Chain A
Amino acid sequence: MKPYPFKYVRAEGLAAVFQQFEEHGDDAQVLAGGQSLMPVLNMRLSAPRVLVDINRIEELRGIALDGGEVRIGALTRHREVLESEVVRTHLPLLAEAMPHVAHVAVRNRGTLGGSLALADPAAEMPACAVALGATLVLRSAAGERTVAAEDFYQGLYETERRPDEVLTEARYPIAGPGYHGAFQEFARRQGDFAVVGVAARGRVESGVLSELRLVYFGCEGHARLARQTALAAEAGGRPYTPQVFAALKDALAEELDPMENMHGSRATKLHMAQTLTGRALQALLARAGGAVHG
């Protein structure tokens, strides 16, 4: 388990990163926390010729409340997100999801931007970004552009990021009153990648559920926003009844197409997703106050 030979370059600023991209194109790979990249290199599943270490680029770190947004630099460690008062106050869904991201040792090194950019289909952070309507900031030598998280994820480890771009920041809009989130994940062991998970966020006003976003991970090739299922849930409104849940299960069966893997067939994972959907909605509605049925 030794990697293929590679050249290591420590970048002191983004300009240096872009220069490496220009010189080496696809053969250059950004090294951030390394929690996914290093095992992949050691297993010889990937063979970049140049590793560009961005860990010294301070401008990529930090969590800031900026008007109606929380801006989190790509190099911010999972642990910093987990411990952030700003995140806990304004992005409770992210705070709820973060303990599911691996173990303490991995969270100490792993970065938010790394997780968002890698686009592992079973990872928590991409799903939360989609559920929260986050915007991702991409920079290259040519400048900066932004992409909505729900447009960023294109397929299995496929994103809108071009090889000459670095994901520098995620911007999460702060929701007004009435918005609530819920996060449900099933993993075989504490800290494992999800077998199936759902990040839910919606608005509850006078007992009526609206603007619901249900995002599934560990199911399809990337974090999957399930619009039809959300509509089925909203149509029920409150009180939340077994009938609503039955309709919602059917909608999810229509809409979601989970990939079979070691932990379950399509049918098994769909069943788990249905279970977690029910639990997420119950939790969300319970947070909105009032009785929950079903």
Chain B
Amino acid sequence: MSGKAGASSSNSTNPTNPIGQAIPRASVRRLVTGRGRYTDDMTFARMVHAVFVRSPFAHARILSIDTGEAARAPGVVRVVTGAEVAEVCKPFQVRHAGFPALKVTPQHVLAVDKASWQGEAVAAVVAESRAEAEDAAELVMIEWGELPAVADADAALAPDAPLVHQELGTNEALALTVDGGDVDGAFADADVVVEEEFRFARHTGVTLEPRCIIADYDPSTHALAVHQSHQAPHEMADVYARHLGFPGHNVRVVAPDVGGAFGLKLQPYADEIATCALSMLLGRPVKYTADRLESFVTDIHARGHHVKARMAVSADGDILGLEVDDVYGIGAYSQFPRTSVFEGVHVLRMSGVAYKHTNYRARVRVAYQNKALSGHYRGVGMPIANTVTERLVDMATTELGLDPVAFRRRNYVPSEAYPHTAPTGFSFEYMSLGECLDKLEELVDIPALRAERDSLRADGVYRGIGIATFTETTAISPEYYGKAEIRVAAQESCVVRLEPSGHVRCLIGMTDQGQGTATGIAQVVAATLGVPVDDVEVISGDSAATPYGAGAFASRGAAIGGEVALQASRALKENILAVAAAILQEEPAALDLSDGRIVAAAGGTARMELAEIADIGHFRQNILPPDVQPQFTVARHHVPRALPHLSGNGIQLSYLEVDPGLGAVKLLRHAVVHDCGTVINPLLVHEQIRGGAVQGIGSALYEESVYNNEGQMLNASLADYLVPMAAEIPDIEIADVITPTRSSELGAKGVGEAGVTGASPAILNAINDAIGPLGGRLAEIPATPERILRALGVV
């Protein structure tokens, strides 16, 4: 099953090998000089603007809608209600073959009879300008019949709770359980049992560029062209075709520059598909840009867990068992098409997997609530699993008086145990847990940090050190969505072509929202072909022009996209060498490509420029033997089949100071060690880790979608919803451990979610380390000043 580690799968110290080089993103110069082209920058002839009238209530019946005055307002082209849009657009109907018990109900793209969360779109106004559309939207008169709302997930699961969807008869969308080993025995035998009740606030992903779509329906050809700020243009083209009644090849989705996505631009939104429907109704291009205020109540939210967990530990410091019970609120609907349950599945399947214990029991109850939808955001549940596990580990070491570093090392799944199947049911090719811990100790002088912390405590300064091992699944195989019978691709596809100039174009299904994945792909192509990186252009983000791929999700761009680029480039190289061999009258095996030249395989003597081969192959085929047909365009697909996912892992350390008079936290140092296998570009890998860590720090200290009991979001603006800014974040120190996966030739594993996955537990452990001497204990994030003061018992 496993491929042999190829020459390119370990980090090369060869300066001419593009793999492993810290090359800045190709798009940086363009973007920072204002040459970026985002969807909202685009305009089309006859284009009109859509604005949605949204429910001000979390749960309310639509008694009547009067669009008359709005329709007569200046600049207005059309006002439509949910019932009208429903005539051209099928509702979302979520289904997951792996979870047949998942209770679902159809979600209309505009609410028809009732609204189920504050912010759900109920009518649309299309006008010549955005401003006119906003003016007219205020004139749409809706008569509401307010219904009882349920906001809190625990309250939603209570027997007498108001129902989000009457027809389901319950708010419990799904309950999942795992029971492995002898959990009761483990707890009975334990010398120490540590137990905690965690609360993880719901929050959202805040992209610099909000969601934006321009849909352009051409009735003369019955074709739909869409420009959209999105991670997965191929998947969206499929969704639009199926929901709006198009043959697949009549829909084209182009994702131009995208200003951040983080999972919140991975799936279709009701208002986006409604925009397509509006274009069909009007036969004109329609633009919709989510403004910052509506983004807060319509963009996907994430987290929102209430977890009770306990860990059984022996006096010697062995973890004997773990038990986790999670209530997870997903909002009013399960997100289409992936469902919202994977955030819960990752809590169920990823808790405690770094450790070698065999006794594990978990339950996750997924609850509907009258809130914005919650689902796939960077890290998908894994930060919860890691925080629960790592907090319990620190509580156990505190209770037993053991060193948290030594305790972790003692309990890690040992190197020789792989491949390893955790008691959660997930299996892991390899996790370099001990190596990452060793590397962390090289990166940070932990004993010195402890000495500093201890001496400052004597002066009334409360600092804390927190470490957190983290584990992640990346680059998933068809075992996930294939098995689920959900139309989400696992493969990546790539076309590589030699241009007449001798330069190379690579068209690839995976997409880039600022990660720089395209540059990484160019490095793989350049390394495999033997051409300079600057000679390779990577094109992505166009469902009609690029071969089918799933875009960016689950940390897959470099791992799967990189592998298919390698395979395609290798095939192109063979084709080029075949032509070169014909010209040079050599065996292909005697030739190689290096730095844009045909060279002798032995000795490396330059024989011919690649540009010359390209020129002959495109324009002067007359000089070739008659049976030689140059094949300078090559396509390859790659489906990861050897493993269900590629396992990534790492460790993070936070060093911070708590001001007990104010409850304030000042983060002083944050370090990350991570293993993503082959590092194609350390600069980009480290940028991904930093960006992710900042979002994890955001979860731990700042970010929260605050709702009241009536389901009203109270802080839905950037004045009140806090994201960490540059001043709040210290430089993040990073080191790599490199264990290439053996399941691919490239050996790269995912990195996109690493930072976010381990930052929160490191911060929470550090806060507890700081406030422990004052008698404080906290298990709720974000760790706001008020929560810290309450934990300290002073308010």
Task: Write the residues of chain A forming the contact surface with B, with a CB cutoff of 8 angstroms.
Answer: 1-2, 4-5, 39, 43-44, 186, 188-192, 195, 262-265, 267-268, 271-272, 275-276, 278-279
Contact = CB atoms under 8 A, between A and B. Distances in A.
B662 A2 contact: no
B786 A268 contact: yes
10 contacts: A1-B292, A1-B293, A186-B664, A262-B715, A263-B785, A264-B785, A265-B786, A265-B795, A272-B785, A275-B661
- For the residues of A in contact with B, the DSSP-based class is loop
Given A2-B134, A43-B293, A189 B727 contact: yes
A189 B662 CA distance: 13
A236 B34 CA distance: 60
A180 to B, nearest CB: 22
B722 A189 contact: yes
B661 A264 contact: no
Given A186-B662, A268-B789, A268-B795, A262 B131 contact: no
A2 B727 CA distance: 30
B135 A4 contact: yes
A1 B40 CA distance: 14
B440 to A, nearest CB: 28
B795 A188 contact: no
Given A39-B719, A275-B662, A268 B785 contact: yes
A51 to B, nearest CB: 15
A195 B719 contact: no
B664 to A, nearest CB: 7
B527 to A, nearest CB: 42
Contacts of A275: 661-662
Contacts of B714: 262
Contact of A189 (B131, B134, B702, B795): B702
B170 to A, nearest CB: 33
Interface string B711-725: 000110101101011
B784 interface: yes
Contact of A263 (B727, B786, B794): B786
Contacts of A279: 661
Nearest to B134: A2
A199 B702 CA distance: 26
A188 to B, nearest CB: 6
A4 B139 CA distance: 13
A268 B791 CA distance: 12
B722 A271 contact: no
A56 B574 CA distance: 70
Interface in B115-153: 130-131, 134-135
A279 B715 CA distance: 30
Nearest to B133: A2
Contacts of A44: 134
Nearest 6 pairs of A and B residues by beta carbon: A275-B661, A190-B727, A2-B131, A1-B291, A264-B786, A267-B795
B794 A271 contact: yes
B706 interface: yes
A263 to B, nearest CB: 7
B728 interface: yes
Nearest to A266: B795
Nearest to A190: B727
Contacts of A186: 662, 664, 785
Interface string B750-791: 000000000000000000000000000000000011100110
A195 B720 contact: no
Contact of A191 (B130, B720, B727, B790): B727
Contact of A262 (B130, B292, B706, B724): B706
B763 to A, nearest CB: 15
Contacts of B291: 1
Contacts of B724: 189
A262 B719 contact: no
A43 B795 CA distance: 35
Contacts of B722: 188-189, 192
Nearest to A279: B661
A188 B715 contact: no
B305 to A, nearest CB: 21
Q: Which of A4, A44, A186, A271 has the most chain B CB within a 10 Å cutoff?
A: A271
A2 B131 CA distance: 6
Contact of B784 (A1, A192, A263, A271): A263
Given A189-B722, A268-B786, 13 more contacts: A1-B291, A1-B292, A5-B131, A43-B717, A188-B722, A195-B785, A262-B714, A262-B720, A264-B785, A265-B795, A268-B663, A268-B789, A272-B661
Nearest to B131: A2
Nearest to A195: B785
A189 B789 contact: no
B661 A188 contact: no
A190 B725 contact: yes
A261 B722 CA distance: 14
A31 to B, nearest CB: 18
A224 B724 CA distance: 30
Contacts of B717: 43
A32 B134 CA distance: 26
Contacts of A1: 291-293
A257 to B, nearest CB: 16
Interface string B654-696: 0000000111100000000000000000000000000000000
Given A186-B662, A263-B786, A275-B661, A5 B135 contact: yes
B782 to A, nearest CB: 10
A174 B706 CA distance: 45
Nearest to A264: B786
Contact of B725 (A5, A189, A268): A189
Contacts of B728: 189-190
B795 A271 contact: yes
A196 to B, nearest CB: 8
Interface in B692-751: 702, 706, 714-715, 717, 719-720, 722, 724-725, 727-728
A189 B291 CA distance: 24
A2 B130 contact: yes
Nearest to B722: A188
A57 B280 CA distance: 52
Contacts of A4: 135
B283 to A, nearest CB: 26
A123 to B, nearest CB: 13
A280 to B, nearest CB: 12
Contacts of B292: 1
A188 B723 CA distance: 10
Contacts of B661: 272, 275, 278-279
Contacts of B662: 186, 272, 275-276
Most B C-beta atoms less than 10 A away, residue of A2, A192, A276, A278: A2
A268 B717 CA distance: 23
A190 B664 CA distance: 12
A74 to B, nearest CB: 24
B709 to A, nearest CB: 16
Most interface-central of B291, B722, B724, B795 (chain A CB within 10 A): B795
Nearest to B138: A44
Contacts of A188: 702, 722, 784-785
A8 B130 CA distance: 20
Nearest to A192: B722
Contacts of B664: 186
A186 B659 CA distance: 11
B135 to A, nearest CB: 7
Contacts of A268: 663, 785-786, 789-790, 795
A267 B715 CA distance: 21
Contacts of B130: 2
B365 to A, nearest CB: 29
A127 B764 CA distance: 35
A105 B130 CA distance: 27
B453 to A, nearest CB: 22
A4 to B, nearest CB: 7
Contacts of B786: 263-265, 268
Contacts of A272: 661-663, 785
